[in-house]
C-alpha cells in the first residue's frame, strides 16, 4: 500500500508541482505494530482523566541510563532552549516585517536562521505543542481538539534528551493553555512549572501582587541561573503574552473614540475596578472574546460599530502586546548570556500558531487556516553555524523541530515520527525537506471523519474550515457538518482572496487524497487519551476566546 501511495505521489508531484523529490513529503508509515481495535474505543466517561487546570510544579527523576551522543554531531554538547510563542504573527516579528516591535527577537535572528515558509501543525495551542514535542502530526497522536491528550507510549523531545543526560524543564503560566500534565505534555520534563499568571500576562491582570515585564519568564530564568554549569539543559518556555485579551497600557478614559479600549477594559480603567466591568480581562466574570460565528458579544459589537478606526485600535493593541512579549525573549537571552550558555545553546523560537486580525472577517485563532494563523515565525540559532541573513524559503513544519534538535545534538530520533530534520537547510537554504505539510484540528471538537485543517503544498493551500473562503462571495453551502473547502495559489494570491476550488477540482482531489491517505495510515498508530474537563477550566477556556471548546462531554 505504501509503495502504491508513493507512486501516486510521485506522479502527482511531477505533473502538478514538477517536484522531483517526493519521498521527503510522504508521511511515514507506522513502524510499530498497530493497536488493537479495542484501544481506539473511548473509555466510559467516568474513567476519563479530568482536566482541572491550576498552577503547580511537577517533578520526576532523570532517567538513569544515559546513552552517549553521536560524536560527529554538529552540536553534541549544546544546551537546547525552546520558546513557543502563543498567537504570534510572522508580520509582527521585525526580521520578517520591521515594525520596531521585537528587538530581542532580532537578536535571536542575528547570526541565526529564520524561515519564510514554516507552518504550524494546528491552529491552536494544544495540538501545535503536541506536534512540536512529538514530531508527529495530529492524526498520528490523535490530539486534534481539546478533548484528547497524548498517549503514554509516544516519545517526547524532553524525554529523549533526558535519556542522553539532559536536565529538562518546562515553564508556562496557568491559563487555558495546552501545556499541562493532564494533556500528557509533562512527559519527559523532570521539572514542569506552571505559575499563576503574573500581571504581565493576559490572564493575570491582578489587582495586587508584583507588576512588571517579563515576569512570566522569571521561573525559567531562575532555573537556568541555578543549573550547574557543566549540566546540559533542555528548557522550554511557552509564553502567552501576545494572547488575547491583550495586555497593554489601557487608554485614558475618553481617550479612545473607537470604544474598543472600553470594550476590552471597561469604562473604569483604574486598577481597582472590579473584574465584572472589565469584559476583556480574562479572569473576569463577563463572557468575552471575539468570534465570527459565535453570536453577539460586547467586543464583536464594539468592533463592528467602530469600523476601520476600531480595527486599527484592535491591531494597535495586538502590536503593543507583541512589544511586551519581546521582553520575555530578552529575559531569556540575558540569562543565557549571563550564565555563559548563549554561545553553546541551540535556541529555537517559534509561534504555536498565529492570529487573525480582522482579515477574512476573523479575529483570534482556532477556526480558520488562513496564512496569518498557520504560517508562523520560526527562528533558530545554532552554535558554530554562521546563520543566514535571508529567510530560508523551504517548506518546514512544527513536526520537523524534534528531528532537527536530535540530529544537531547527535541523538537518535524515534521511529514513526512524521518530521524531517531541517539540518540540510542550514548549509543549503534552497534544499527541500518536504513538499507537503498538514495543519490539523481546531479549538472545538473535531470528529475524525470531518477533520478540519489544511494541506499546504506550495504553491497550493487547501483549507477545510468552518469559515467562508472568500468574504462576500459565498460558495454553495457545504453539506451539514462539512467544512468549506478553499483552494488558494499562494504564489499568485498570497492574500488568499480568490478561491480556486471550483477551477482546479483535480488539485483539490489530489491534496485531499494525500491527506486522507496519511490519516488512514496514521490512525493505526494513534490512540489518544479521551479527557473530560472541569467546569471551571472550561469557563477559563471561554474567557480566553474559545467559545465552543471541549465539546462534546
Ligand atoms: Zn497558542
pLDDT per residue over 229-239, tens digit each?
999 999 999 99
More confident residue, 538 or 83: 83
Domain ranges of the chain: 2-33+46-245+277-288+323-543
pLDDT band at 526 (very low <50, low <70, confident <90, very high): low
Residues 6+ away with beta carbon under 8 Å from 376 = 88, 90, 118, 119, 120, 350, 351, 352, 353, 354
Q: Identify which of 64-78, 453-467, 519-533 has the greatest average pLDDT.
A: 453-467
344: confidence class by pLDDT, cuts 50, 70, 90: very high
Task: Identify the pLDDT of residue 484.
Answer: 86
Task: Evaluate if residue 160 carries a pLDDT over 60.
Answer: yes
* pLDDT on residue 466: 79
Q: How far apart are CA 90 and CA 116, in angstroms?
A: 9
Q: Is the pLDDT of residue 504 over 50?
A: yes
- Ligand 1 center to 386 CA (angstroms): 30
| Confidence at residue 448, expressed as pLDDT on a 0 to 100 scale | 56
Neighbours of ion ligand 1 (CB under 5 A): 86, 125, 352
Residue 31: pLDDT band (50, 70, 90) is: very low
Query: What percent of the chain has pLDDT above 90?
Result: 46
How far, in Å, are 55, 330, 543 from residue 215 at the CA level?
15, 12, 22
Whether 80 shows a pLDDT value over 90: the answer reads yes
- C-alpha 503/C-alpha 120 separation (Å) is 27
Measured in Å, residue 105 CA sits from the centre of ligand 1 at 18
CA–centroid distance, 238 to ligand 1, in Å, is 9
Contact 188, 158 (CB under 8 A): yes
Query: Is the model's pLDDT at 217 over the cut of 50?
Result: yes
Predicted pLDDT at 66: 63
Distance between CA atoms of 490 and 493, rounded to whole angstroms? 5
Task: Cell 469584559: give the residue.
Answer: 279
**Band (53; pLDDT cuts 50, 70, 90):** confident
240 CA to centre of ligand 1 in angstroms: 7
Over residues 267-282, mean pLDDT: 41
Q: In the prediction, which pLDDT does 443 show?
A: 75
Query: Helix or strand or coil: residue 359?
Result: helix
Window from 129-138, 263-272, 326-335, 343-352 with minimum mean pLDDT: 263-272
Q: Decide which of 485 and 300 is more confident.
A: 485
Distance (angstroms) between ligand 1 centre and the Cα of 492 equals 29
φ/ψ of residue 218, rounded to 5: -60, -45
Q: What are phi and psi of 202, to 5 degrees?
A: -60, -30
C-alpha 502 – ligand 1 centre gap (Å):
33
Q: Give the distance (Å) from ligand 1 centre to CA of residue 233.
A: 24
Report the alpha-carbon distance of residue 462 to residue 488 in Å, rounded: 7
pLDDT of residue 524: 72
More confident residue, 12 or 134: 134
CA–CA dist 390, 315 (Å, integer): 27
**Per mean pLDDT, which of 26-40, 100-114, 311-325, 527-541 is the most reliable?**
100-114
User: Does residue 396 carry a pLDDT above 90?
Assistant: yes
Q: Name the band, by pLDDT with cuts 50, 70 and 90, for residue 549.
A: very low
Residue 171 Cα to ligand 1 midpoint, Å, equals: 14
Q: What is the pLDDT of residue 520?
A: 87
* CA 352 to ligand 1 centroid distance, Å: 5
In total, the chain counts a number of residues equal to: 553
Q: Is 132 exposed, middle or buried (0-12, 13-18, 19+ CB in 10 A)?
A: buried
| Lowest-pLDDT choice from 219-233, 297-311, 331-345, 361-375 | 297-311
Residue 282, pLDDT > 90, answer: no
Report the separation in Å between the CA atom of 174 and the middle of ligand 1, taken as the mean of its atom positions.
13
Tell how strand 532-533 and strand 50-51 pair up. parallel
Residue 150 CA, ligand 1 centroid: distance in Å = 17
C-alpha separations of 478 from 145, 466, 522 in Å? 22, 10, 26
Q: Say if residue 8's pLDDT is above 70.
A: no
State yes or no: pLDDT of 490 exceeds 60: yes
> At 493, is the pLDDT very low, low, confident or very high (cuts 50, 70, 90)?
very high
Q: How far is the CA of 245 from the centre of ligand 1 (A)?
A: 13
CATH of 2-33+46-245+277-288+323-543, one of 3.10.50.40, 3.20.20.450, 3.40.720.10, 3.30.70.1140: 3.40.720.10
Confidence of residue 259 (pLDDT cuts 50, 70, 90): confident
What pLDDT is stored for residue 175 in this prediction?
Answer: 77
Cα–ligand 1 centroid distance for 254 (angstroms): 32
Question: Quick one: pLDDT at residue 28?
Answer: 38
Looking at the chain, the whole-number percentage of residues with pLDDT higher than 70 is 74
Mean per-residue pLDDT, 8-18: 35
List pLDDT tens digits, range 428-479: 988 999 999 999 988 765 555 678 899 999 999 999 987 888 876 566 677 7
Question: Quick one: pLDDT band at residue 7, thresholds 50, 70, 90?
Answer: very low
pLDDT at 339 over 50: yes
Which pLDDT value is given to residue 12? 36
Whether residue 488 has pLDDT greater than 90:
yes
Q: Please provide the average confidence, as pLDDT, over all residues in the chain.
A: 79
Residue 265 has pLDDT above 70, yes or no: no
Q: Which residues contact 123 (CB under 8 A, 6 or more apart)?
A: 353, 365, 366, 367, 368, 369, 373, 374, 439, 441, 442, 443
Amino acid at each position: 500500500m505504501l509503495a502504491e501511495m508513493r507512486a501516486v505521489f510521485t506522479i502527482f508531484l511531477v505533473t502538478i508541482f514538477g517536484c522531483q523529490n517526493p519521498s521527503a513529503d510522504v508521511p511515514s508509515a507506522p513502524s510499530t505494530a498497530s493497536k488493537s481495535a479495542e484501544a481506539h474505543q473511548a473509555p466510559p466517561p467516568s474513567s476519563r482523566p479530568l482536566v482541572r487546570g491550576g498552577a503547580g510544579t511537577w517533578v520526576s527523576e532523570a532517567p538513569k541510563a544515559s546513552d552517549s551522543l553521536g560524536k560527529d554531531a554538529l552540536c553534541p554538547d549544546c544546551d537546547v532552549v525552546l520558546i513557543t510563542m502563543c498567537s504570534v504573527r510572522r508580520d509582527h516579528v521585525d526580521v520578517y516585517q520591521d515594525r520596531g516591535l521585537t528587538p530581542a527577537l532580532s537578536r535571536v535572528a542575528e547570526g541565526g536562521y529564520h524561515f519564510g515558509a514554516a507552518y504550524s501543525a494546528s491552529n491552536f495551542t494544544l495540538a501545535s505543542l503536541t506536534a512540536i514535542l512529538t514530531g508527529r502530526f495530529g492524526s498520528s497522536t490523535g490530539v486534534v481538539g481539546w478533548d484528547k491528550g497524548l498517549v503514554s507510549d509516544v516519545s517526547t523531545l524532553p524525554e529523549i534528551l533526558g535519556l542522553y543526560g539532559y536536565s529538562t524543564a518546562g515553564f508556562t503560566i496557568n491559563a487555558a493553555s495546552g501545556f499541562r500534565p493532564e494533556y500528557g505534555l509533562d512527559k519527559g520534563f523532570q521539572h514542569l512549572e506552571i505559575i499563576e499568571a503574573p500581571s504581565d500576562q493576559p490572564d493575570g491582570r491582578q489587582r495586587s501582587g508584583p507588576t512588571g515585564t517579563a515576569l512570566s519568564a522569571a521561573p525559567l530564568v531562575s532555573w537556568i541561573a541555578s543549573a550547574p554549569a557543566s549540566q546540559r539543559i533542555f528548557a522550554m518556555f511557552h509564553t502567552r503574552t501576545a494572547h488575547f485579551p491583550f495586555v497593554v497600557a489601557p487608554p485614558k478614559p475618553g481617550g479612545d473614540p473607537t470604544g474598543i479600549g472600553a470594550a476590552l477594559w471597561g469604562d473604569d480603567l483604574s486598577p481597582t475596578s472590579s473584574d465584572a466591568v472589565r469584559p476583556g480581562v480574562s479572569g473576569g466574570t463577563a463572557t468575552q472574546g471575539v468570534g465570527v460565528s459565535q453570536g453577539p458579544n460586547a467586543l464583536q459589537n464594539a468592533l463592528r460599530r467602530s469600523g476601520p478606526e476600531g480595527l486599527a485600535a484592535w491591531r494597535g493593541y495586538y502590536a503593543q502586546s507583541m512589544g511586551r512579549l519581546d521582553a520575555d525573549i530578552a529575559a531569556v537571552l540575558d540569562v543565557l548570556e549571563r550564565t555563559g550558555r548563549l554561545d553553546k545553546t541551540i535556541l529555537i523560537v517559534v509561534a504555536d500558531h498565529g492570529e487573525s486580525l480582522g482579515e477574512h472577517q476573523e479575529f483570534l485563532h482556532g477556526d480558520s487556516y488562513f496564512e496569518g494563523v498557520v504560517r508562523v515565525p520560526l527562528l533558530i540559532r545554532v552554535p558554530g553555524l554562521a546563520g543566514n541573513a535571508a529567510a530560508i524559503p523551504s517548506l518546514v513544519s512544527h513536526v520537523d523541530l524534534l528531528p532537527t534538535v536530535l540530529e544537531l545534538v547527535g541523538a537518535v530520533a524515534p521511529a514513526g515520527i512524521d518530521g524531517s530534520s531541517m539540518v540540510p537547510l542550514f548549509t543549503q537554504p534552497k534544499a527541500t525537506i518536504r513538499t507537503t505539510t498538514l495543519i490539523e484540528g481546531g479549538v472545538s471538537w473535531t470528529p475524525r471523519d470531518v477533520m478540519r485543517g489544511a494541506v499546504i503544498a506550495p504553491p497550493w493551500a487547501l483549507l477545510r474550515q468552518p469559515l467562508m473562503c472568500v468574504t462576500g462571495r459565498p460558495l454553495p453551502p457545504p453539506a451539514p457538518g462539512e467544512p468549506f473547502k478553499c483552494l488558494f495559489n499562494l504564489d499568485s494570491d498570497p492574500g488568499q482572496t480568490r478561491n480556486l476550488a471550483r477551477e482546479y477540482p483535480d488539485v483539490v482531489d489530489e491534496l485531499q487524497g494525500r491527506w486522507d491517505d496519511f490519516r488512514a495510515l496514521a490512525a493505526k498508530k494513534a490512540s489518544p487519551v479521551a479527557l473530560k474537563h472541569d467546569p471551571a477550566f472550561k469557563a477559563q477556556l471561554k474567557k480566553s476566546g474559545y467559545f465552543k471548546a471541549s465539546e462534546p462531554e
